[in-house]
A and B are shown apart, each in its own frame.
Chain A
Amino acid sequence: MLAVLFVTLLAAFTMATFSVTSAHADEVGTEYDFTLSGNVQFNGDVLKGVAIDVKGNGYQADTVTDAEGKWSIGVPEKGSYEVTLDEDTLPDGVIVAKGGSVIDTEFALTDRKSVNFFLGEGTRNTVNFFDQFVNRFVNGLNFGLLLALAAIGVSLIFGTTGLSNFAHAEMITFGALATLVFSVNFGLPIWLAIIFAIVLSGGLGFGLDAVIWKPLRRKGVAVIPLMIVSIGLSLALRYTYQYFFGGSTTQLPGAGMKDLQFGPVSLSPIDMASMGLSIVVLLAVAYFLLRTRIGKATRAVSDNPSLASASGIDVDNVIRIVWIVGAALAGLSGVLWAYFRPGVSWDMGFQMLLLVFAAVTLGGLGTAFGALIGSIIVGLFVELSTLWLPSDMKIVGALVILILVLLFRPQGILGRKERIG
């Protein structure tokens, strides 16, 4: 009984291999004993002229599929080989859908091995390098601009009070969460929700300074303990957010709009609005710092607090304004970050914090314009690095640049060098 089964199977095998060999028109490597072969078809139609390449064990050969979509390549050894289907030779609208266009295959017990590719509908991403570069560049600019909104606050707070504010992350998240609550829970139109959120963020900044930072400054607490306090505050606020909003990510209304194409660049209306808004706000901040009395006082305090105080500037007032404006900018940054990621979550600010610090440090701690330049550079690096690095490592590029710059220019790009005693 078993013997009959075995013989039948053997016969079937032999028939199969015979049929495969006899039908071939485009064969390569027929002098070898072992063969890799396959059938390329899509939706019942055979595909002719598709290029197949086989590589392995020091051997390489290629062929194209014949009129029946079949191909066969002989190989010298019974081992492992890499079989590649050249997607460029597929007809339009057809791509390798599952498993990839490169298959690693290995012979089993017989001298023949069949290799099949899974085809599906789709268009190949034939974007050339330059186009990808431009697209990423614009996205990097978008990210850099929203980063700048947060970074300027961090830099000014550092300049005027010496504090490296880790809780800035939570001021960023606050803006997004507030917008979410106002628009989704209260049903306000999105533009109104954003305005309320920014105002509330400014209020949060004012509150934090009044309740925590000013009393500590009065007490004469040094800069390092202040930084550690901000770390504790950051932790407490972050988990408070998680307490009330849970661990999941929610979308703001209007997120996920389809991209429009402008030549090589694909941007959604939200992206464009985000960049536009960032630029307008940054110009307003620049005007504030350069032209207004308070702005100049802010730059003076940020540059040299004791000298500024000696020249009659009300340092406490300046610091209060810095906290309000810095927090409001952080809130706006959070909203734009929520549209960029996209999504609102309890730790979204914390995810961005390291890049904010990198931008501020790169540009020079304490200067607002340094923060802007640093942010643009970081934003561009993060997005452009995906052209070479896998996308889950894109932050690494920016961080490495940070470390390298500090190695050669410890004060950052626009920062001032310090003298010894």
Chain B
Amino acid sequence: MSADAIPVDSTVAPQPTGSTNKPIKTTGLHIGEAEPGCAKVDPILVVDNVRRTFGGLTAVDVDHIEVPRGAITALIGPNGAGKTTLFNLLTGFDKPDAGKWTFEGRSLSGVPAYRVARMGQIRTFQLTKALGLLTVMDNMLLGAKGQSGENLFRALLPFLWRSQEEGNRAKALDLLTRFKLDTKKDDYAASLSGGQRKLLEMARALMSDPTLVMLDEPMAGVNPALTQSLLDHILNLKAEGMTVLFVEHDMHMVRHIADWVIVMAEGKVVAEGDPHEVMRNPAVIDAYLGQHHDEDIGEDSDVENQHVSAVKELLDDER
């Protein structure tokens, strides 16, 4: 993979990437060598010296990360690597011990979660937070930005917010149709299946036209029949000009749709690069297989680690 300074613009003609068989990858995102903390041509998120400890345990210790704009970046690593903690820190759901980071050039350190969301950085959660006691449509309307009826005093005067509500409703219906949830719009979100709730959470996130969508394990607990459609939706986000950063364990998904991969282990970034290169990186293999180096990991072994077998699979694929 050459280190081009000129990025190949894959969003010139937004093609329906309905076929995940051949997603168009964005290349040339980085400057210089593909190593941890390498600079990007057009970074949307820049993270510096962020540390978070719990008691004596260092959960996150990141020197430098840059997330490229307009691309799909995957954040991977074994359990306990600090991925979700980093997510929480970047989105304002947790406070770091030290560090700073900027989004679109604006500093986010110390900014509370709701303000981060308003700035255009929307996140989803590992355990889906579709609000089950509200209808699907209400969930969507909640996602909309700048609804003046959400102010206590203006709420009392419907004529002030009625038309905005209608506009939001139309937009919501549009999104729901795209995600194939339109027939369920008046049902309580609790009546949706797990996968449908994931889709709802994603659709809801789009109501505010975010710039950066951060997905925390979007595939977790999703029935395999739905994974295809979820992947398509994520690719669509890129097609519409949004940047995506997601945490995942599913290596196939990562290899298929990620343009860039950042690998974390024990709180630090151990590798960065194109998905294929990263899989071959010895530091990455070490991180996943490290503790089992001396042992024979065959089918007979008691130590069956999901990640281990997945990485092994990919290595085999590459050969």
Chains A and B in contact, CB within 8 Å = yes
Residues of B within 8 A of A421 (CB): 84, 88, 93, 125-127
Q: How far, in Å, is B69 (CB) from chain A's closest CB?
A: 27
Indicate if A420 sits at the interface (CB-CB under 8 A): yes
Residues of A within 8 A of B127 (CB): 421
Residues of A within 8 A of B84 (CB): 421
Indicate if B138 sits at the interface (CB-CB under 8 A): no
Residues of B within 8 A of A420 (CB): 88, 93-94
B127 to chain A: closest residue by CB: A421
Assembled-state Cα–Cα distance A419/B84 (Å): 12
Q: How far, in Å, is A96 (CB) from chain B's closest CB?
A: 59
Residues of A within 8 A of B125 (CB): 421
- Residues 134-167 of B, flagged 1 when their CB comes within 8 A of A and 0 if not, give 0000000000000000000000000000000000
Assembled-state Cα–Cα distance A421/B91 (Å): 13
Residues of B within 8 A of A419 (CB): 54, 94
Interface residues of B in 87-138 (CB under 8 A from A): 88, 93-94, 125-127
Q: How far, in Å, is B267 (CB) from chain A's closest CB?
A: 15
Assembled-state Cα–Cα distance A297/B140 (Å): 46
Q: How far, in Å, is B128 (CB) from chain A's closest CB?
A: 11
Q: How far, in Å, is B198 (CB) from chain A's closest CB?
A: 15
Interface residues of chain A, those whose CB is within 8 Å of chain B, are 419-421
Residues of A within 8 A of B93 (CB): 420-421
Assembled-state Cα–Cα distance A419/B95 (Å): 11
Instruction: Rank and list the top 5 A-B pairs by shortest CB-CB distance, nearest first.
Output: A420-B93, A421-B125, A421-B127, A420-B88, A421-B126
The B interface, classified by DSSP as helix, strand, loop or mixed, is loop
B59 to chain A: closest residue by CB: A419
Q: How far, in Å, is A397 (CB) from chain B's closest CB?
A: 32
A420 to chain B: closest residue by CB: B93
Could you list some 11 contacts between A and B, CB below 8 A?
A419-B54, A419-B94, A420-B88, A420-B93, A420-B94, A421-B84, A421-B88, A421-B93, A421-B125, A421-B126, A421-B127
Q: How far, in Å, is B116 (CB) from chain A's closest CB?
A: 14
With A419-B54, A420-B88 given, name 4 new contacts (CB 8 A): A421-B84, A421-B93, A421-B125, A421-B126
B88 to chain A: closest residue by CB: A420
Assembled-state Cα–Cα distance A419/B127 (Å): 14
Assembled-state Cα–Cα distance A7/B94 (Å): 92
Assembled-state Cα–Cα distance A419/B126 (Å): 14
Assembled-state Cα–Cα distance A279/B94 (Å): 42
Assembled-state Cα–Cα distance A420/B93 (Å): 8
Interface residues of B in 157-195 (CB under 8 A from A): none
Assembled-state Cα–Cα distance A285/B86 (Å): 43
Residues of A within 8 A of B88 (CB): 420-421
Residues of A within 8 A of B94 (CB): 419-420
Q: How far, in Å, is A61 (CB) from chain B's closest CB?
A: 62
Residues of A within 8 A of B126 (CB): 421
Q: How far, in Å, is B97 (CB) from chain A's closest CB?
A: 14
Assembled-state Cα–Cα distance A419/B125 (Å): 14
- Residues 294-306 of B, flagged 1 when their CB comes within 8 A of A and 0 if not, give 0000000000000
Assembled-state Cα–Cα distance A91/B88 (Å): 75
Assembled-state Cα–Cα distance A421/B125 (Å): 8
Interface residues of B in 209-230 (CB under 8 A from A): none
Assembled-state Cα–Cα distance A419/B59 (Å): 12
Q: How far, in Å, is A264 (CB) from chain B's closest CB?
A: 44
Q: How far, in Å, is A410 (CB) from chain B's closest CB?
A: 14
Q: How far, in Å, is B236 (CB) from chain A's closest CB?
A: 26
Q: How far, in Å, is B215 (CB) from chain A's closest CB?
A: 14
B93 to chain A: closest residue by CB: A420
Q: How far, in Å, is B81 (CB) from chain A's closest CB?
A: 16
Q: How far, in Å, is A351 (CB) from chain B's closest CB?
A: 38
Assembled-state Cα–Cα distance A246/B93 (Å): 54
Assembled-state Cα–Cα distance A419/B57 (Å): 14
Assembled-state Cα–Cα distance A338/B127 (Å): 50
Assembled-state Cα–Cα distance A421/B94 (Å): 10
Assembled-state Cα–Cα distance A419/B163 (Å): 40
B125 to chain A: closest residue by CB: A421
Assembled-state Cα–Cα distance A419/B94 (Å): 9
B54 to chain A: closest residue by CB: A419
B94 to chain A: closest residue by CB: A420
Assembled-state Cα–Cα distance A421/B54 (Å): 15
B129 to chain A: closest residue by CB: A421
Assembled-state Cα–Cα distance A419/B53 (Å): 12
Q: How far, in Å, is A19 (CB) from chain B's closest CB?
A: 77
Assembled-state Cα–Cα distance A421/B88 (Å): 9
Q: How far, in Å, is B93 (CB) from chain A's closest CB?
A: 5
Q: How far, in Å, is A109 (CB) from chain B's closest CB?
A: 62
Assembled-state Cα–Cα distance A58/B252 (Å): 91
Q: How far, in Å, is B94 (CB) from chain A's closest CB?
A: 6
Q: How far, in Å, is B298 (CB) from chain A's closest CB?
A: 29
Assembled-state Cα–Cα distance A235/B84 (Å): 45
Assembled-state Cα–Cα distance A10/B251 (Å): 114
Assembled-state Cα–Cα distance A421/B127 (Å): 8
Assembled-state Cα–Cα distance A350/B27 (Å): 70
Assembled-state Cα–Cα distance A221/B93 (Å): 30
Assembled-state Cα–Cα distance A420/B54 (Å): 13
Q: How far, in Å, is B187 (CB) from chain A's closest CB?
A: 23
Q: How far, in Å, is A30 (CB) from chain B's closest CB?
A: 71
